[in-house]
Amino acid sequence: MVKLDPAEPKVVEYSIAWESLLTRASLAIRGRYGNEVKQRLEQSTLLFATAFPRPLHIPEMRIKDILLLTIALAAPLSGPRVSAQAIATSAPLTDIRYEVTFTRVNGERRQVATAMTFTVGGTDPVLLSLPKWTPGAYEIDNFSRYVSNFSAEQNGTSLAWDKADPDTWRVRPRGVGEVTVQFDYLADSLDNANTWSRPDFLLFNGTNLFPYPEGRGFDFPASVTVNTEAGWKVVTGMTSAGPRRYAASNYHDLVDMPFFVGQFDVDSTQISGTWVRFATYPSGSVTGGARVAVWEALKRVIPAEVKVFGEVPWNTYSVLQIADPSYGGGSGLEHQNSHVDVLGMGMLGTPVLPSLYAHEIFHAWNVKRLRPSDMWPYRYDEEQPTPLLWISEGITDYYADLAEVRGGIIDPKGFYLLTDDKISEVEGLPPTALEDASLSTWVHPRDGTGYIYYSKGSLAGLLLDIMIRDASDNHASLDDVMRTLYNTAYKNGRGFTSDEWWSTVSKVARGKSFSDFFARYVDGRDPFPYEKVLPLAGLRLARDTARVPQLGIASLQDSTGLHVTAVAPAAGVKPGDQLISVAGFSADDPEWTQKFRSRFARMPEGTDLPVIIRRAGAEQTLTAHLHFVLSVGLRLVEDPRPSARERRIRDGLLRGVTQP
Provide the minimum distance between the beta carbon of 615 and Zn ion in the complex, in angstroms, as a whole number. Answer: 41
Q: Of the candidates 309, 288, 306, 308, which has an alpha carbon nearest to the alpha carbon of residue 298?
A: 306
Q: Are 624 and 609 in contact (CB under 8 A)?
A: yes
Provide the minimum distance between the beta carbon of 341 and Zn ion in the complex, in angstroms, as a whole number. Answer: 12
Binding mask 130-169 for Zn ion (x = CB under 5 A): ----------------------------------------
Could you tell me where the DSSP H helices lie in 138-184?
none
Interface stretch with Zn ion, choices 385-393, 400-408, 628-636, 638-646 (CB under 5 A): 385-393
Q: Compare residues 358 and 612 and give the one whose CB is closer to Zn ion.
A: 358
Q: Compare residues 1 and 113 and give the one whose CB is closer to Zn ion.
A: 1
Q: 14 to 33, contacts with Zn ion by CB under 5 A? A: 19
Provide the minimum distance between the beta carbon of 136 and Zn ion in the complex, in angstroms, as a whole number. Answer: 7
Provide the minimum distance between the beta carbon of 338 and Zn ion in the complex, in angstroms, as a whole number. Answer: 14
Q: Of the candidates 303, 191, 283, which has an alpha carbon nearest to the alpha carbon of residue 233?
A: 283
Q: Compare residues 19 and 421 and give the one whose CB is closer to Zn ion.
A: 19
**For 433-510, where are the E strands, in sequence order?**
none
In the three-class reduction of DSSP (H, G, I as helix; E, B as strand; rest coil), residue 505 is classed as helix
Q: Compare residues 16 and 583 and give the one whose CB is closer to Zn ion.
A: 16
Query: What does the alpha-carbon distance between residue 356 and residue 347 come to, in Å, rounded to a whole number?
Result: 11
How many Cβ atoms from other residues are within 10 Å of residue 314's Cβ?
Answer: 20
Dihedral of the CA atoms 433, 436, 442, 448 (nearest 10)? -30
Provide the minimum distance between the beta carbon of 659 and Zn ion in the complex, in angstroms, as a whole number. Answer: 30
Query: What does the alpha-carbon distance between residue 153 and residue 168 come to, in Å, rounded to a whole number?
Result: 17
Q: Compare residues 390 and 514 and give the one whose CB is closer to Zn ion.
A: 390
Provide the minimum distance between the beta carbon of 393 and Zn ion in the complex, in angstroms, as a whole number. Answer: 5
Query: What does the alpha-carbon distance between residue 525 and residue 460 come to, in Å, rounded to a whole number?
Result: 12
Interface stretch with Zn ion, choices 13-21, 121-129, 345-353, 570-578 (CB under 5 A): 13-21
Provide the minimum distance between the beta carbon of 165 and Zn ion in the complex, in angstroms, as a whole number. Answer: 30
Q: Compare residues 367 and 567 and give the one whose CB is closer to Zn ion.
A: 367
How many Cβ atoms from other residues are within 10 Å of residue 620's Cβ?
Answer: 14
Q: 388 to 407, contacts with Zn ion by CB under 5 A? A: 393
What is the largest distance, in Å, between two alpha-carbon atoms of the chain?
Answer: 85
Q: How many residues form the binding site for Zn ion (CB under 5 A)?
A: 2
Contacts of 528 (CB under 8 A, 6+ apart): 426, 456, 459, 460, 463, 521
Provide the minimum distance between the beta carbon of 511 and Zn ion in the complex, in angstroms, as a whole number. Answer: 32
Q: Compare residues 19 and 479 and give the one whose CB is closer to Zn ion.
A: 19
Q: Compare residues 393 and 421 and give the one whose CB is closer to Zn ion.
A: 393
Q: Compare residues 257 and 364 and give the one whose CB is closer to Zn ion.
A: 364
Buried b (16+ CB within 10 A) or exposed e, 483-499: bbbbeebbeeeebbebe
Query: What does the alpha-carbon distance between residue 281 and residue 264 come to, in Å, rounded to a whole number?
Result: 5
Q: Are 456 and 434 in contact (CB under 8 A)?
A: yes
Provide the minimum distance between the beta carbon of 193 and Zn ion in the complex, in angstroms, as a whole number. Answer: 12
Binding mask 338-377 for Zn ion (x = CB under 5 A): ----------------------------------------
Residues near Zn ion (CB under 5 A) are 19, 393
